[in-house]
Amino acid sequence: MKLPERFINESLARHWQVDETEESFERLMYHLEHKTNFKPYFEESINKLCFDSDKFKDGIIVADVGAGVCWTSAMLANHPSVKHVYAVDPSEQRLKHAESVLKHFKVPEDKVTLINGTFDKPNIPEKVDLVLLCGALHHCYDEDIPALFSNIKNLLTEEGMVLVANEHYVTPSWLVIRFLSFIKNFRRLKERGLSFTALRAPDQFGGEHWRIRKELEHIFSSCGFKANFFIHEGDLCKDKPRFYQRFGWKYYHAFLENITPCDIL
Ligand SMILES: C[S@@+](CC[C@H](N)C(=O)[O-])C[C@H]1O[C@@H](n2cnc3c(N)ncnc32)[C@H](O)[C@@H]1O
C-alpha cells in the first residue's frame, strides 16, 4: 500500500500535539469547534446513528479507520451504547498524541485499542458493528479502494454499517476553476510536472483526492454498498485561507449499507 509522504514521520500541526496539559487539549478543542466545523459536523452524523435501536441493544463495537489523534474514537467510546473502539492509524505521531486525547476525554481505560494499521491492513482482531472513516477516505488511493472495502466487508457483522464522515466532494464548478487556474499558471505548473491530463491527480504530498459525487457513488456501489448521503450546510474547513480552496467543495457524511456478501467482490 502506498502511504502519502505526509503521514510518514510527519511533523504535526500544533493543534494535534496534545499532551497531558489542559492548554494543549484546549487548543485541539478550539480547532475542532471554532476554527473548523469538525466536531459539530461529526456530531450531526453520529446523531443519526439511532443508538437506541434494537440492533444496538447489546452495545456495539466500532472500528475507527484513519483515526488520527482519535478525538472521534474518544467521543464514540464515551457513548453508553459503545462497548469498544479499535482506532487504526498508520501515523505513529498521531497515535502517540491519541493516548493523551483519550485521557482528556476521560475515556474509561481499555475502552479504546490503538492499532498501527492501514486501509489494506487494519489489523482489527474481531468483527465490528460500525466502521468509521472520518476525513480518511479522500486519502485512499484508487488502487487501494477495493482492498479497503473488502476489509470492511470482512470486518462487519451482518447488520453492520459504515459511516463516512467529515468528507467532501468537488462540484463541476470546482473543476472549471481548476482548469482556468491551470491555464493562468500554465508555465509554472508545467515546470512542476503537472500536466493538463493530471489536473485531478491526487495531491503528491498528502494524497488528497478530488473526487466528484458520481465517482464516490460508483466506488460505493461497485464495492457492494448502498450509500445514503447527507450534505452539510456551510464549510468544514472554514479556516482555509483561500477562496479557491473552498469554492466548489461540498461537505457530506454518508451511511453505507452492506448489500452484497463479501465473496461477490
Ligand atoms: C485528515 S486525517 C483525519 C484524521 C481523523 N479521522 C480526524 O478526523 O481528525 C486523515 C487520516 O488518515 C490517515 N491515513 C492516511 N493514509 C492512510 C492509510 N493508508 N490507511 C489508514 N489511514 C490512513 C492519516 O494518518 C490521518 O490520520
Cell for 80? 453508553
CA 57 / ligand 1 centre spacing (Å): 30
Q: Does domain 5-170+210-243+250-264 have CATH number 3.30.950.10?
A: no
- 3-state SS class at 225: strand
Does residue 202's CB lie within 6 angstroms of at least one atom of ligand 1?
Answer: no
139 lines ligand 1 (CB under 6 A): yes
**Is the minimum distance from the CB of 68 to ligand 1 under 6 angstroms?**
yes
Count Cβ atoms within 10 A of the Cβ of residue 156 and give its class: 0-12 exposed, 13-18 middle, 19 or more buried: buried
| pLDDT at res. 248 | 82
Task: Give the position, in ligand 1's atom list, of the atom nearest the Cα of 119.
Answer: 20
Q: Determine whether the shortest distance from the Cβ of 66 to ligand 1 is under 6 A.
A: yes
CA 214, chain centre distance (Å): 19
Torsion angle defined by CA atoms of residues 138, 142, 147 and 150, in that order, rounded to the nearest 10 degrees: 80
Distance of CA 187 to CAs 158, 174, 176, 191, 198, Å? 53, 21, 19, 6, 15
CA dihedral 92, 71, 258, 144 (to 10 degrees): -30
User: Looking at ligand 1, which atom is closest to the CA of residue 3?
Assistant: 19
Q: Nearest C-alpha to atom 1 of ligand 1 is from which residue?
A: 135
Each domain of the chain, given as residue ranges in start order, spans: 5-170+210-243+250-264
Sorted by sequence, the CB contacts under 8 Å of residue 256 that are 6+ apart come out as: 161, 162, 163, 164, 220, 225, 226, 227, 228
The predicted pLDDT at position 221 comes to: 95
Helix, strand, coil percentages, rounded to 5, for the chain: 40, 20, 35
CA nearest 155: which of 229, 64, 254, 91? 64
Along the chain (265 residues), what's the average pLDDT of each consecutive run of 10 residues? 78 95 98 95 94 82 98 97 97 96 97 97 96 96 94 94 95 80 73 67 78 95 96 80 71 93 49
pLDDT of residue 243: 66
Q: What is the pLDDT of residue 208?
A: 83
- The CB of 67 under 6 Å from ligand 1? The reply is yes
Nearest to 88 by CA among 120, 53, 123, 59: 123
- Closest among 105, 98, 99 to 82, alpha carbons compared: 105
Distance 180 CA to ligand 1 centre (A): 31
- CA-proximal residue: ligand 1, atom 24 (nearest): 66
Q: Contact, 177 vs 244, CB < 8 A?
A: yes
